[in-house]
Amino acid sequence: MSLCGLVMIVLFKYLPMGGIIMAFQNYSLFLGFSGSKWIGLSNFIRFFTDPYFFRILGNTFLLGLFDILWSFPAPILLALMLNEVTAKRFKKITQTITYLPYFISVVIITGLMRSIFGNEGGVINTAIAALGGDMIAFFNEPGWFRPLYIGSGIWQNVGYSSILYLAAITGIDPQLYEAAKIDGANRISCIFRITLPCMIPTIAVLFTLRIGSVLNVGFEKILLMYSPAIYRVADVISTYVYRMGMINQDYGYAAAVGLFNSVVAVLFLLFGNWISGRLFDESLW
């Protein structure tokens, strides 16, 4: 039963790793791996000495860090609140409403954001103008990029991400709650003394994986939200790789930047596993 999954992993995860060699070549699409000139670490040196290196790295790290600080606790809180809902019909409706945005494409999400926060015809700016205020260029103001990006991500993913936490809560022995109630514990006490401690293994694993992906900021939404006015806060490693590789066709350099991103991501994963072990006494290994 696992053979199909293993074959897919080998074909789409391990075999493409051979392309890492591009990072050490002046790769040409027409010459291929064997014909392209070997240049060693020149692509990495070029990236490290790029005048935008620290800006790109800082934007990527800050966006990933803020995403962890705000997006990671959100599904935990939602799962805890849904677990306290006693009306089954209302609970199912609420779950469905929170799950649905996950299945909406990034293009539509960005379109909705522009319809709400856009300068011309946006709901928010229309309301501001009607109240006599000055309209805000949300998509052209650097200070608004991160709140819009992270806020829309929370709205889109919070319901779907809460599924694992709800599953963890479902696996808690009901007798623990019954014994706590007999001892006089209220609902708040049960949450902090039973529910959350029993969720720690799940939280620890997902927290470790989230830290490992702190630099893997998706570029699709950023590209759709892009404008020259917000480059200084919105340009991240993934968009830089896209621009260098797909637009400028500098494949070797883009591969080097992508490899650097992957190596740093592994280091963050190791660090996250250590942090998880120290905080929760649970870790991946």
Token pair listed for 112: 């909705």
30 domain-assigned: no
| DSSP summary character for residue 38 | E
* Contacts within 8 Å (CB) and 24+ apart, 101-109: 101/155, 101/156, 101/157, 101/159, 102/156, 102/157, 102/159, 102/160, 104/156, 106/218, 106/220, 106/221, 106/224, 107/224, 109/152, 109/156, 109/221
Q: In whole angstroms, what is the distance from residue 48 CA to residue 70 CA?
A: 30
Give the amino acid at 26. Answer: N
Could you read off the pLDDT of 8-67 as tens digits, one per residue? 999 998 888 888 899 999 988 888 888 889 998 999 999 999 998 999 999 999 998 898
Query: Into how many domains does the chain fold?
Result: 1
| Percentage above 90 pLDDT, the chain | 23
Specify the pLDDT at position 19. 85
**Is residue 11 in a domain?**
no
Tens of pLDDT, residues 153-164: 999 999 999 988
Q: Is residue 22 part of a domain?
A: no
Q: Is residue 274 part of a domain?
A: yes
What is the reported pTM? 0.85
CATH number at residue 69: 1.10.3720.10
Backbone angles phi and psi of 90, in degrees to 5 = -65, -40
Residue 15 included in any domain: no
Q: Which domain holds residue 216?
A: 38-280
CA distances (Å), origin 127, targets 4, 115, 133, 149: 54, 13, 9, 22
Summarised one tens digit per residue, pLDDT across range 178-216 is 888 888 888 888 888 889 988 988 888 888 888 878 888
Domain presence at residue 249: yes
169 found inside a domain: yes
pLDDT mean over 255-279: 86
Amino acid sitting at position 35: G
Question: From CA 276, how far away is CA 260, in angstroms rounded?
Answer: 24
Q: Which pLDDT value is given to residue 180?
A: 87
